[in-house]
Amino acid sequence: MTPELARLGHVALETPDLAGSLSFFADAVGFEEVERDGDTSYLRAVDEFQHHSIALTEAAESGVDHIGWQTADPESIPAFAERLESEGIEVTWVDAGEERGQGEAIRFSTPTGHEFEFYHEMEKPDPPEERRSKLRNKTYARTTTNPIAPRRIDHTQLWDPDAVEFAEWLQEDLGFGVQEYYDREDGSRWGTFLSACGNKIEAAVIDDEAEDTSPALHHTAYKVDTVDDLFEAHDAMNERGIPVDGIGQHSISRGKFLYVRDPVSGHRIEFNAGGYLVFDPTWEPVAWTETDLEDRQWIGQIESKARVEY
């Protein structure tokens, strides 16, 4: 069989101060804490139907434990394991429930050093009765959640000094498709924007131009409903004194953005509105070059290049 990924599922992040980071992730941003297990807090966005999309663990310092991808079916897990091992990649099996709410999984380092997890099953726990929506296709009633709470996980931006190699490996070994890419004036590739689900960018792979650097997570993006929501979120961050890294719209993906960072761990969340979806199986990657559009930000700008290594 040909193993297949279905979607970006979650990120597992490390923070030097769990309580401090929850002030950001839960209180300020509005993720729901679904479960606490020792030093790990499991968080879900308000319009997600699975157990968690963030696992946040207290550790010696900030870091990224893994990026979690859901497979299309249970059989894809061992099939991917076999393929990876045949390439000499060491695969670690993770028992069901070790990561709470999640079925059996594998973890491994990609050739350029990103930590990935593949899983298929994840619980769909009910929210408490008093917070549940009357709409059966919704989880929490919005009346009982933080008004700026983002809706669902959208994509990750991954920085890599060997970005071209990493992007090719994602396509060839994991079956990602390319939705867009951006080449510099000298012909070198700055970014490749890939999709596991086929409908939207889920991994933005960016050439890290810093020297002597390691692979890193620049941000994890969550969808919100409206552009007003970006301003509301910015406003809420200002009220709490949490620094923001800009508001505007990307050229690539057309996504409107707001970037904010957890002051404690440095992990960055993008509030993302708009963009577009691909349902056409004959989609051809959108090719950008620095000569036809110099501005990677169509509207507004981002003010920081900080990112967190694994």
**Residues near a copy of itself (CB under 8 A):** 6-7, 47, 49-50, 70-73, 120-122, 124, 133-138, 141-143, 146-148, 152, 180, 197, 199, 225-228, 231-232, 234-236, 238-240, 244, 246-249, 251-254, 256, 274, 276-277, 279-284, 286-288, 292-293, 298-300
Shortest Å, Cβ 59 to a copy of itself: 29
Nearest one of 159, 180, 151 to 271, comparing CA atoms: 151
Shortest Å, Cβ 43 to a copy of itself: 17
Shortest Å, Cβ 139 to a copy of itself: 10
What are residue 44's phi and psi, to 5 degrees?
-130, 140
Task: For residue 28, give the H/E element and its range.
Answer: none
Pairing of strands 5-15, 32-37: unpaired
Pick the closer one to a copy of itself by CB: 83 or 138: 138
Side-chain-side CA neighbours of residue 157 (13 Å) = 21
Pick the closer one to a copy of itself by CB: 158 or 197: 197
Shortest Å, Cβ 254 to a copy of itself: 6
Distance separating alpha carbons of residues 2 and 284, to the nearest angstrom = 22
Shortest Å, Cβ 208 to a copy of itself: 24
Pick the closer one to a copy of itself by CB: 175 or 274: 274
268: left (phi over 0), alpha (psi -120 to 50) or beta: beta
Pick the closer one to a copy of itself by CB: 133 or 214: 133
Pick the closer one to a copy of itself by CB: 19 or 287: 287
Pick the closer one to a copy of itself by CB: 192 or 253: 253
Distance separating alpha carbons of residues 184 and 189, to the nearest angstrom = 6
Shortest Å, Cβ 6 to a copy of itself: 4
Residue 35 amino acid letter: E
**Beta strands in 101-146, from DSSP E residues, in sequence order:** 105-109, 115-119
Give strand pairing partners of 96.
Answer: 99
